[in-house]
Amino acid sequence: MNMQFSDLTFIFRVLPVILLIYYIVPYKFRSPVLSVAGLIFYAINAGPDLIILLLSIIINYGLSFPVSAKKKPALIFSLVINASALIAFKLCAAFMKPVNIGDLLVIEFMLPLGMSFYIFKLISYQCDLYRGNIRRGSLTDLTLYVSLFTQIISGPISRFTYELDNPNRLIVSNESAKSRIKNAMGYIEEGLIYFITGLFFKVVIADHLAMIWREIGTIGYENLSTPLAWIGVFVYSMDLYYDFWGYSLMAAGIGMMFGFKFIRNFKNPYFASSVSDFYRRWHMTLGEWFKDYIYIPLGGSKKGSTRTVINLSIVWLLTGLWHGLSFNYILWAVSLLLIIIFEKFVLTGAGVFGRIMGRFNVLILIPLTWIIFALTSSSDLLHYFMRLINISAPISVINETDYVSLLREGWIYMLPALFFLIPSLKRVLNKNKYTIKVALIMLILFWISIYSIAGSASNPFMYMSF
């Protein structure tokens, strides 16, 4: 059994029940309530993987004592054991073939759900403890940090202070029932705006773009017309963006309903000035993690050009491997690394030309790298790029008007994908989010989303596979 934020059961049953329990119990019980909710939510989605999660929490809790006492060997051991666990499971998931038992049962090794995210959170916790940036928390604190159900499956990768800063966790109060209800409704109202927006992005835009992308794959990449191949670049780029941005908004919105601060994971990436700027705005919590715990400790860009290139190479190689141990992820990471090095050492200081090239890289090269990200087969990748430049394989059968019917059916989802890229929309929403007009818009978006969910099976969040 799986349960996602976009499931009707979660929206109408699970989330309201958790919120009700959370706001009814005394403050001192709210962290345990969320911890238990997170573990149950994880068990529903991951089953036996819960054992690995619990072992990770217990081991890291034990190591937190010497690490907080600034024992460097303990820190090194914690980093090694966490990184080794992630690497080992990724290797097994990448290279272990399915096993047949008898004639019926097939066992295929899968990476434990959300492991890439919660291992990075544990590494962050140990490093911040050693640096003295945080104080060692209780076992409940660590469990809540790692298993918080708004982040456990697909991030974002928050820091330990994210949980500690929640006023609902820290305050011990004798407030009246009326005051408690008023505060709870304020948090829920704030969070609902982001949750509904993210839900709409996910189930209305991303899921329908995903259907278009699958239809393109059904045609066969070697058989696409060149216009359809370029439309596919746009469709997949927007599908990935709205799927993950939608998830991030939903996760942040649910967190806000429980009193946590909004955690920003995307910041208008397609309006970035360069590829480097794009990845400061895309999946921001992952980028900040690599910056704080890999790039800066290696010396960042302050030890000369050669060392900067080496440090960037290490970061991007690890980024590719974090996504998966297949050729396309490495090629994707190397492609981005080369573009970023070119921007940093050639385009920097190039004036107007540099700015134009930076925008070209964001609007053209970034979407092309997403095709590398999407296609795990080398032959599929080769055929796709051949069709982008109008080269046909011997086996191809090209229908030069194939894009017409697809545009006729898909424009209704492609246009909103372009429309919601406009940065000023977010400023208008933030400025008017407590008005009747915005409330009415949210109500309409919510029921459009519910209708979409009820009418078709919702796709899993794309980043669940990492």
Q: What is the pLDDT of residue 377?
A: 92
> Are residue 40 and residue 138 in the same domain, yes or no?
yes
> Are residue 314 and residue 372 in the same domain, yes or no?
yes
| Among 93, 94, 59, residue whose Cα is nearest residue 79 | 59
Q: At what angle do helices 15-24 and 226-257 cross, to 10 degrees?
A: 20
> Are residue 29 and residue 110 in the same domain, yes or no?
yes
Q: What is the pLDDT of residue 102?
A: 53
Q: What is the pLDDT of residue 32?
A: 92
Helix (H, G, I), strand (E, B) or coil at 101: strand
Question: Exposed (0-12), middle (13-18) or buried (19+): which is 435, by Cβ within 10 Å?
Answer: exposed
For 132, left (φ over 0), alpha (ψ -120 to 50), or beta? left
Distance between CA atoms of 179 and 196, rounded to whole angstroms?
Answer: 26
Task: Give tens-digit pLDDT for 94-103.
Answer: 777 665 555 4
Q: What is the pLDDT of residue 463?
A: 57
Q: Which residues does 292 contact at the CB level (< 8 Å), separation at least 6? A: 124
Show the domain range for 73. Answer: 8-174
> Are residue 220 and residue 158 in the same domain, yes or no?
no
Task: Note whether residue 179 is domain-resident.
Answer: no
Q: What is the pLDDT of residue 167?
A: 79
Domain edge (last residue) among 143, 174, 205: 174
Distance between CA atoms of 454 and 448, rounded to whole angstroms?
Answer: 10
Distance between CA atoms of 372 and 381, rounded to whole angstroms?
Answer: 7
Distance between CA atoms of 166 and 281, rounded to whole angstroms?
Answer: 25
> Are residue 133 and residue 26 in the same domain, yes or no?
yes
Q: What is the number of other CB atoms lying within 10 angstroms of the CB of residue 397?
A: 10
Give the torsion through C-alpha atoms of 151, 154, 158, 163, to 10 deg.
10
> Are residue 99 and residue 219 in the same domain, yes or no?
no
> Are residue 74 and residue 103 in the same domain, yes or no?
yes
Task: Note whether residue 231 is domain-resident.
Answer: yes
Q: What is the number of other CB atoms lying within 10 angstroms of the CB of residue 337?
A: 20
Domain tally, the chain: 2
Task: Give tens-digit pLDDT for 439-451.
Answer: 899 999 999 999 9
Domain edge (last residue) among 174, 204, 228: 174
> Are residue 128 and residue 151 in the same domain, yes or no?
yes
Distance between CA atoms of 370 and 381, rounded to whole angstroms?
Answer: 11
Task: Note whether residue 343 is domain-resident.
Answer: yes
Task: Note whether residue 1 is domain-resident.
Answer: no
Task: Note whether residue 3 is domain-resident.
Answer: no
> Are residue 140 and residue 223 in the same domain, yes or no?
no
Q: What is the DSSP letter of 7?
A: S
Q: What is the pLDDT of residue 328?
A: 93
Task: Note whether residue 134 is domain-resident.
Answer: yes
Q: What is the DSSP letter of 456?
A: S
CA 30, distance to chain mean position in Å, is: 26
Task: Note whether residue 181 is domain-resident.
Answer: no
Task: Give tens-digit pLDDT for 310-357.
Answer: 999 999 999 999 998 889 999 999 999 999 999 999 988 888 999 999
Which residues are registered as beta bridge partners of 99? 107
> Are residue 75 and residue 134 in the same domain, yes or no?
yes
> Are residue 169 and residue 195 in the same domain, yes or no?
no
Tokens of 411: 């424009």
Distance between CA atoms of 403 and 228, rounded to whole angstroms?
Answer: 5
Domain edge (last residue) among 108, 139, 174: 174
> Are residue 27 and residue 103 in the same domain, yes or no?
yes
Q: What is the pLDDT of residue 93?
A: 80
Q: Which residues of the chain have pLDDT under 50?
A: 103
Task: Note whether residue 444 is domain-resident.
Answer: yes
Q: What is the number of other CB atoms lying within 10 angstroms of the CB of residue 196?
A: 22
